[in-house]
Structure 1
Amino acid sequence: MSMQLVQPSFPQFLSVFTRIGCLSFGGPAGQIALMHRELIDERQWVEEGAFLRALNFCHLLPGPEAQQLATYIGWRMFGVRGGLAAGLLFIVPGALVMLALSLLYVQATGLSGFEAAMAGVKAAVIAIVLQALLRIAKRALKTRAQHWLAVAAFVALFLFDLPFPLVIAAAALVGLLTGSADGPHATASPPADSGRTLLTRSVGAAVKGALLWAAPFLLIFATLGPDHILADIATFFSTLALVTFGGAYAVLAYMAQAAVQDMGWLSAGQMADGLGLAETTPGPLILVTQFVGFLGAWNAPAPFSPVVAGILASIVVLWVTFVPCFIWIFAFAPWIERLEHARRLHAALAGVTAAVVGVIANLALWFALHVLFTRVTPFAAGPIRTQMPDVTSFDPVAAALAAGAIVLMLRFGRGPVTVLGLAVLASVAWHVISR
């Protein structure tokens, strides 16, 4: 017997999605579970099958799937205004917290107690990324070919420093050619609208969205020029938004190495700090991009003050990162039932997901090298382009903190926020005792 759906008023809808946005801790799994409980179990606003079909659809898109799921549900219930409201309410609370933490971070940098606290954050980040690696590997690697694809992605990134978009594209092609094409089967009837009608709607939404997305580029290029830091930030993060398949951890490796090694916007340690701070905020983990953009502009603020430059960069990063998420939903949501039948698309995505395991392994090792050793230098030999630590710079305190965080997460099942808090307390305590 099908569930009798309840149609809320728009103010009720806004109230619930505000609550979801403020409580959406714990990564996409926890965020999706929260929406399921709030919207299906407690209020019967959405039918279970539609929720699951939308979730499968969002897994096919670049960007944070939980935020896109919220946007789709809002669109399904109240059209474009509902999609905008649900998607924004999922982002804004965490974005405000992340901006506040970024401002606090730059003001407190250099204080001995703060540096000790951040040392604990860096150590905990190793455990957090390792847990994500194991969790995603368990879900994604089901065949021998997928295991080899993960290994190949790791080698391509860590040893040969190949571009992240190239690795993802190659993985999708391998998945498409070698996958079984066994995607999820739709349980709903195909939409009544014709393909021509759906295409017209999709093209219209995509064109309008693309024009909005381009607005900051035009404004920045016209007023500050193409060489300004905000232009670089807008270009880099807009590119990043198009290749964020496989979740935030997948793209973090690309972003961390590019922002640290190529752009010089922040240090490897600051990148680890940003990830740790992002783990403590509600909303999608990809909000760590906001921290990276903030620090990049803070360090090269002219003609603005550092605070103004950082805030402007945060706004630009949020815009170019999340506007595409809304475009995907408004352009392709009408096709959701038909895309459920696109089995080859699911096979390509399976290849990407397998490669993501290697991508996250690269991120875990990259963070570990920069946290456990105080000196890491580039190494090149023939086609190999990687990084090597100076073994004499090994930090035993960081290693002990990281080992403790790993035990807490993997052996005792403690969550990221708890582990971050305990690692910070342990690091500060050691700082006080050893003085």
Structure 2
Amino acid sequence: MIDISADATTAKAEAGHGISFGEAFRVWLRVALLSFGGPAGQIAVMHRILVEEKNWISESRFLHALNYCMLLPGPEAQQLATYIGWLLHRTAGGIMAGGLFILPGVIAIMGLSYIYAAYGHVGFVEALFFGLKAAVLAIVIQAVVRVGKRALRNQIMIALAAIAFIAIFFFNVPFPVIIIGAGVIGYVGAKLGRREFAAVPHGGGKGSAAIDSMLGDESPDHVRPSVPRALRVSAVWLLLWLVPVAALLIAFGQANVFSQIALFFSKMALVTFGGAYAVLAYVAQQAVEHYHWVAPREMLDGLGMAETTPGPLIMVLQFVGFMAAFRDPGTLSPMLAGTLGGLLATWVTFTPCFLWIFLGAPFIETLRGNRGLAGALTAITAAVVGVILNLSIWFALHTVFRETVAVRSFGLSFDMPVFSSVDVAALVLAVAAATAVFRFNLGMLTVLGGSCVAGVLLRLVGVI
């Protein structure tokens, strides 16, 4: 089967790059504990530690791995950690890096979910999360600006972003359709030699990085593509992923909340591309409007939790799974059901991430420098800007306005705000948070903390 022996892995890896499994564990734990700020912040942390400080991987190979992870469904930062861990110490290294990356978030979100479920409707806690929503809105808008500055370098990229936004916001076009369309356009454009689809330029990194030295003239066995090994990897990780889902369906049927959680988040793991913000746009619509597991403002509360804790933003899905099972516990106690629901959502969300890396990474390593792949990624990144803009507007509607009206005619499918329902306090806090982020360049944690304090003060003076 798959070799995950730490001792064997360490011995083989050290022969190539001299980095012990124990040293890697300490570094990946450090990365995990510093992984605040969403995917942009997490990727920046990994780049600073792994490329600049440790010189474990070169700039070009780091970006090649990131490009592949951005094309995958799921959280690109966690998958990037898994990819680099796999390069260093094979399967065991990938499991360690990817697992440690989410562990602090799993613990933190579970603890916050307990508090939210038990005290979420108490005035102080409500005020705390009221303030969080305003800061989260500002941070999401900042993500649009940051990604846009990097991705929208010419008129074609701007047009792709605009088309993606219009398609998903006004016409509810499925995100996979948008991503596939953008990828095809980028691939063809790059093959035709159009400079607009060239890879986004990046600065250089150090030379003679550990991984690059190891992957010199003769690559290690685990980096070489192998169909038999790919079949074994697929079998193991598909069983780990799908056996619990099948067992729940057989035991409880499709109407059971645990079966619904397993099915929905497994489906999400397959069809949500473009990183955390794109995932949240899809999940928010389904969890709020179809399953009614959480209210729109509770979804924002969950995102606020994920923003303030280490780990991927997609850890908000654990909160959604927790609340779904907490409200439909069956014969279990609500807290126990919530715990199991949250862990189930996490399992079926992240298990496929390991499958994508361990299955695809050896083949992707052979595509370094492929012009068509770079063009597809460039176009997809531009389309994702439009999707993130859609998410920011969705959040703004449900943060600043108490009511919305569904527009469903002439092919249109979107929510229009009821302007008389504006929440003045939320609007003021959102503007203040945006000012702190854009005008004064305050850090994320500072803005989140200040917004929480402002929410509590507004509660104390009776404004909310």
Give the corresponding residue for 2:21.
10
The question of whether the paired residues in 2 share the 8 Å contact of 1:5 and 1:45 is answered with no
1:255 aligned partner:
283
Give the 3-state SS of the residue equivalent to 2:413 in structure 1: strand
Secondary structure, aligned partner of 1:388: strand
Letter in 2 for 1:282: P
Within 5 Å, give how 1:43-82 maps onto structure 2.
43-47=54-58, 49-82=60-93
Deviation at 1:92, TM superposition (A): 0.8
How far does residue 292 in structure 1 lie from its aligned partner after superposition?
Answer: 1.3
| Pairs within 5 Å for 1:12-161 | 12-47=23-58, 49-161=60-172
1:177-326 paired onto structure 2 within 5 Å: 177-179=188-190, 180=194, 182-183=198-199, 198-326=226-354
CA deviation map 1:336-391 (0-9, x unaligned): 33222432223222222211111111111111111111111212222112112222
Cα 1:415/1:79, change in 2 over 3 Å: same
Between the aligned partners of 2:364 and 2:346, the Cα distance in structure 1 is 26
- Corresponding residue SS for 1:384: coil
**Alignment-mate amino acid for residue 115 of structure 1:** E
CA displacement 1:67-117 (0-9 Å, x = unmatched): 222212222222211111111011111111011111111111211122122
- What is the distance in 2 between the residues matched to 1:191 and 1:61? 28
* 8 A Cα contact 1:174 1:351, kept in partner: yes
Give secondary structure in 2 for the equivalent of 1:434: coil
Q: Structure 1, residues 200-246: CA drift from partner, whole Å, max 9, x if none?
A: 32232123211211121122112221221111111221122223332
Of residues 5-14 and 246-255 in structure 1, the stretch that sits farther from structure 2 once superposed is 5-14
Candidates 392, 395, 407, aligned match of 2:435? 407
Q: How many percent identity over aligned positions?
A: 46
* Greater alpha carbon shift after TM alignment, 7-16 vs 264-273: 7-16
- Choose 367-376 or 19-28, whichever is displaced more: 19-28
Q: Structure 1: state its 5+ residue gaps.
A: none
**Quick one: distance in 2 between partners of 1:47 and 1:154?**
35
Which amino acid in 2 is paired with 1:64?
P
Q: 1:194 to 1:396 in 2, by over 3 A?
A: closer
| Matching residue's letter, 2:156 | A
1:271-323, CA deviations, whole angstroms, 9 ceiling, x for partnerless residues? 11111110011111111111111112212221322212211111111111111
Contact 2:151 2:200 in 1 (8 A): no
Question: Is the 8 Å Cα contact of residues 93 and 283 (structure 1) preserved in structure 2?
Answer: yes
Match of 1:355 among 379, 383, 401: 383
Amino acid across the alignment from 2:25: L
What is residue 453 of structure 2 aligned with on the other side?
425
Contact 2:175 2:273 in 1 (8 A): no
Deviation string for 1:134-177 (max 9, x for gaps)? 11111111222221221122112221222222222232233334
Alpha-carbon separation, structure 2, partners of 1:421 and 1:126: 14
Mapped contact 2:277–2:388 kept (Cα < 8 A):
yes
Separation in structure 1 between the aligned mates of residue 243 and residue 291 of structure 2, nearest angstrom: 24
| Cα pair distance change 1:33/1:147, threshold 3 Å | closer
RMSD over equivalenced CA pairs, Å: 2.5
Counterpart in 1 of 2:204? Answer: none
1:176–1:309 distance in 2 versus 1, CA, 3 Å: same
1:61–1:245: 8 Å Cα contact kept in structure 2? yes
Q: Residue 150 of structure 2 contacts residue 200 of structure 2 at CA under 8 Å; is this kept in 1?
A: no
CA distance in 2, matches of 1:405, 1:183: 33
Q: Which moved more, 1:44-53 or 1:320-329?
A: 44-53
AA aligned to 1:301 is P
Number of the residue aligned with 2:8 = none
Give, as a single letter, the amino acid of the residue that structure 2 aligns with 1:127.
A
Deviation at 1:197, TM superposition (A): 5.3
Unaligned runs of 5+ in 2: 1-14, 202-211
Q: Distance in 2 between matches of 1:215 and 1:99?
A: 24
| C-alpha distance in 2 between matches for 1:278 and 1:127 | 15
Task: Compute the displacement of 1:132 (Å).
Answer: 0.6
Match of 2:177 in 1: 166
Q: Retained in 1: the 8 A contact 2:67–2:377?
A: no
Distance 1:194 1:364 in 2: 41
1:370 pairs with 2:427: no
3-state secondary structure, aligned to 2:72:
coil
SS of residue in 1 equivalent to 2:408: strand
Distance 2:405 2:217 in 1: 55
Where 1:220 maps in the other structure, the secondary structure is helix
More displaced 10-residue stretch of structure 1: 401-410 or 53-62:
53-62
Q: Is the alpha carbon distance of 1:5 and 1:340 closer, same or farther for their aligned partners in structure 2, counting shifts above 3 Å? A: same
- Structure 1 window deviating more from structure 2 (272-281 vs 232-241): it is 232-241
Equivalent AA in structure 1 for residue 436 of structure 2: L
1:368 aligned partner, one-letter code:
A
Distance 1:151 1:49, change over 3 A: closer
| 3-state SS of paired residue (2:226) | helix
Instruction: Give the TM-score, by structure 2 length.
Output: 0.86
Change (3 A) 1:8 1:233: same
Query: Could you tell me which residue of structure 1 aligns to residue 207 of structure 2?
Result: none
| Structure-2 change in CA distance of 1:145 and 1:297 (3 Å) | same
- Give the distance between the partners of 2:40 and 2:53, measured in 1 at CA: 18
